[in-house]
Amino acid sequence: MKLHRALLLAAIPLACLQLPQPAIATAETPTSQSDQTTENGYHRRWWKEAVVYQIYPRSFQDSNGDGIGDLKGITTRLDYLKKLGINVIWLSPHYDSPNADNGYDIRNYRKVMAEFGTMDDFDALLKAVKQRHMKLVLDLVVNHSSDEHQWFVESRKSKDNPYRDYYIWRPGKDGKATNNWTSFFSGSAWKLDAATGEYYLHYFAEKQPDLNWENPKLRSEVYDLMKFWLDKGVDGFRMDVIPFISKDQSFSDLTTSQLAHPEFKFAMGPRLHEYLQEMNAKVLSKYDVMTVGEAFGVTLDQTPSLVDERRNELNMVFNFSAVRLDQDNGVARHWTIPELKAIYSEQDQKLNNHSWNTIFLSNHDNPRLVSSFGDDSSTFRVPSAKLLATMLFTLKGTPFVYQGDELGMTNYPFKGIDDFDDIQVRNEWNAKVIPGKLSKETFIANISKTGRDNARTPMQWDNSPHAGFTSGDKTWLAVNPNYAEINAAQEAADPNSVYHYYQQMIALRAKTPALIYGDFKDLDPNSATIFAYTRKLGKASYLVVLNFSAMPADYSLPSRIRAGHLVIGNLASHEKGGKTLQLAPWEARVYKQ
C-alpha cells in the first residue's frame, strides 16, 4: 500500500494533488498537516515548508520618532513581509531589558521592553500577523537572564535566599574564580559578587548571569513563561544558545585548546537531552509550534541527537559551520567555495529524513550576507545577492532571511570604535586595544568585516532622511549611508531588484515540493567556483547552477545531466541549454529537468 500510494502521489504534480491537507505552502501560512509523508520519507510539516524572516526589533521600524524600532513599527510593515511571501516571523527579544546586550538580557519575561511599546502593542502585532496568515516565533533566552531580573536581585542577597539556586554560584579558590572558564564577551566567565563573596557564572556579559537548570524550580519557571506566550497564540521559539543550559557539574578547568573554542565544551552538557525532553513533554508537545535551537558549539554529528523527530526535543537547529566559514572567533579568514559546498553536503549526509535542517548565512550576530558571501561592490552586489538567494531557497532546509538581506543591504563603513554599539566589541576593545595587545587599526579593520553591528544598522525603507526608519532626528545606530541607493521603496519599483528576485524565489520554493523535500546531490564538489546540484523528488528533478565568482565561466554539465528548461535565473541569460553552460559573473540558474 505504501509503495502504491507513493507511486500514485508521485504521479501527480503536487500543485494539483488533491491531498486531504492543503498542498505545499503557498504564500499562505502553511497550516499544520497531519502526518503526511513525502515519497522520500519526510513527514510534511508547516515549518519545513515555510520561509522565516528574522526581525531585529530595535532596527526594523520606529513608529514614535525616538530613533528606536518598536512593535507598532513592525505592525506597519507586515504587508511588506506578506508581499515578499514570508510565512513565519522570528522576532528577536522584545522583552523588558536594560539592553546590556540589546534585549538578550531579559529583566522580565512577561513584559514588553518599554522602548518597544506595550503588551497591547504586542497583542496587536500578533493579531495582525495572524490576520495575514503568517506565524510569529519568539526568541527564548533562558540560558541566562539579566542581572536586573528579580530572580537575580534576590539570588545575590544571601547564600540562603530562596532564589540563590536559580543561578550558578561558586566560592573562589586562592582569591580567584573556581575555574578558568572564559566569557564570550572577554574576560573570565565568573564575576565576584561582594554581598556574599562568591562568584556567579556568566558565559556572556557580567549583566547576563547564567540560570541554573539543575534547579527544577527554575525549569518550572521557564516552562510557565513559555506557556504564557504560547497561550497568547505565539507559534514557537528560537532558543538562544539552548545547548548551553546543562553545565558539567565538575566545573573543571578547560584545556588551552578547549579555551580556543569554549562553546564546544559548554554545549551538549550531561542533562541537556533530559531538559529538552522535559520541556517538550511539559510544554511544546501541547501546541502546534516550531522550535529552532541556536546550536552554537554543536557539531554536525551531535545535531541529530537534538532534532531527530523521534527524540521529541527540537524541530531544527542553527548549525554554525556555514555562517562562520568566513571568520574564526571573530577574526576574518579566507574561505573557498569547495569548503562551503562540503558543509552543505555533510549536512545533507548527516541529517536523514527524520532530522530537518535550517538554511541561513546571516542573522543579527553576523555581518551582512552579500558582504560576507557575495560581492558588495557596485558591479556585483545585485547579481551576487540574487545568487545567494537562489542558493538559500533551493538547498534542503527551512530558509531564514535576515531583515534587509532581501534588499541586498551591505556592511556598514565603520571608521572607529565609537561607531560600534555591540557589547562584544566594546569589551574586546577594552581587553585587547586599551592594554596595547592589538593596534586600533588592526582591531577596527577586522571587526568592520566580522562585527555584529553590520547587521544591526536600521532597515533601509526609502531615500528619505534616516532611510524612512524614523521620523525623528536621530537613530540608535547610524543608518548605512548607501540607503539612498539601497532601499525597499526603490526596489519595490524596480522589477529587477533583489527584493523582486527574493519574491520570485520564495514563490518558486513554495510551489515546488522538490525544492523543499527533494534529495540533494552536489554534482561537482571540486569545482573552485561553480556550485551545481540537483534536487529530486519522485519524478520531479531540478538543477541549480551557481557561478560564485566575478569571472565568467563555461561550465560543462556532468555527462548524464541535461540542463532542461530554465525556470529562473538572476541574469537575462543567453540560454543555449545543452551541455556547456556559459555563465556570467555571479550568474545563477535553476532548471527543471
Q: Which is nearer to Ca ion, 330 or 472 (CB)?
A: 472
Alpha-helix runs per DSSP H in 58-165: 71-76, 78-84, 119-131, 150-155
**Cβ-count burial 138-160 (b if 16+ within 10 Å, e if not):** bbbbbbbbbbbbebbeebbeeee
DSSP code of 468?
G
**Residue pair 364/512 in contact by the 8 Å Cβ criterion:** no
Shortest separation between residue 57's beta carbon and Ca ion, angstroms = 9
CA 77 to chain centre: 20
68 scored as a contact of Ca ion (CB under 5 A): yes
375 scored as a contact of ligand ISL (CB under 6 A): no
Which of 294, 365, 428, 587 does the annotation list as catalytic?
294
DSSP assignment of 405-440 equals GGGT-------SGGG---HHHHHHIIIIITTTSS-H
184 scored as a contact of ligand ISL (CB under 6 A): yes
Return the residue of 193, 206, 348, 365 that touches ligand ISL, per CB under 6 A: 365
What is the C-alpha separation between 490 and 407, in angstroms, rounded?
10
Q: Which is nearer to Ca ion, 66 or 165 (CB)?
A: 66
198 scored as a contact of ligand ISL (CB under 6 A): no
Q: What residues between 266 and 295 interact with ligand ISL by CB under 6 A?
A: 294
Mention every residue, 6+ apart, whose C-beta is less than 8 A from residue 471: 62, 65
Shortest separation between residue 403's beta carbon and Ca ion, angstroms = 16
x/- string (CB under 6 A) for ligand ISL, residues 76-115?
A: -------------------------x--x-----------
Shortest separation between residue 69's beta carbon and Ca ion, angstroms = 6
What is the C-alpha separation between 323 and 511, in angstroms, rounded?
27
**Residue 66 interface partner, choices Ca ion, ligand ISL, none, CB cut-off 5-8 Å depending on type:** Ca ion
For residue 500, give the amino acid letter. Answer: H
Shortest separation between residue 64's beta carbon and Ca ion, angstroms = 5
318 scored as a contact of ligand ISL (CB under 6 A): no
**Residue pair 310/255 in contact by the 8 Å Cβ criterion:** no
What is the C-alpha separation between 141 and 92, in angstroms, rounded?
10
Give, for 170, the enclosing helix (H) or strand (E).
strand 169-170
**Residue 184 interface partner, choices Ca ion, ligand ISL, none, CB cut-off 5-8 Å depending on type:** ligand ISL
Q: Write out the three cell numbers for 591.
A: 532548471
**Residue 62 interface partner, choices Ca ion, ligand ISL, none, CB cut-off 5-8 Å depending on type:** Ca ion
240 scored as a contact of ligand ISL (CB under 6 A): yes
Which of 101, 240, 406, 453 does the annotation list as catalytic?
240
263 given a catalytic annotation: no
542, β-bridge pairs? 535, 592
**Residue 71 interface partner, choices Ca ion, ligand ISL, none, CB cut-off 5-8 Å depending on type:** none
296 scored as a contact of ligand ISL (CB under 6 A): yes
CA 299 to chain centre: 17
**Residue 64 interface partner, choices ligand ISL, Ca ion, none, CB cut-off 5-8 Å depending on type:** Ca ion
Q: Which is nearer to Ca ion, 469 or 520 (CB)?
A: 469
Shortest separation between residue 441's beta carbon and Ca ion, angstroms = 35
Shortest separation between residue 328's beta carbon and ligand ISL, angstroms = 11
Q: What residues between 203 and 232 interact with ligand ISL by CB under 6 A?
A: 204
x/- string (CB under 5 A) for Ca ion, residues 364-403?
A: ----------------------------------------
**Residue pair 203/143 in contact by the 8 Å Cβ criterion:** yes
Alpha carbon separation from 386 to 157, 267, 375, 493 (Å, rounded): 55, 35, 11, 17
Size of the site for Ca ion (CB under 5 A): 5
DSSP code of 293?
E
Mention every residue, 6+ apart, whose C-beta is less than 8 A from residue 310: 354
294 given a catalytic annotation: yes
316, β-bridge pairs? 292
244 scored as a contact of ligand ISL (CB under 6 A): no
Helix (H, G, I), strand (E, B) or coil at 342: helix
Shortest separation between residue 244's beta carbon and ligand ISL, angstroms = 9
118 scored as a contact of Ca ion (CB under 5 A): no
Shortest separation between residue 209's beta carbon and ligand ISL, angstroms = 12
Backbone φ and ψ for 399, nearest 5 degrees, come out as: -80, 140
56 scored as a contact of ligand ISL (CB under 6 A): no
Alpha carbon separation from 545 to 389, 398, 499, 572 (Å, rounded): 13, 20, 21, 15
Of the ranges 54-62, 196-204, 437-445, 556-564, which one interacts with Ca ion (CB under 5 A)? 54-62
Given the C-alpha cell 534576590, which residue does it identify? 154
Q: Which is nearer to Ca ion, 63 or 183 (CB)?
A: 63
For residue 479, give the amino acid letter. Answer: V
Residues annotated catalytic, as ranges: 240, 294
Question: What residues line the site for ligand ISL (CB under 6 A)?
Answer: 101, 104, 141, 184, 204, 240-241, 294, 296, 364-365
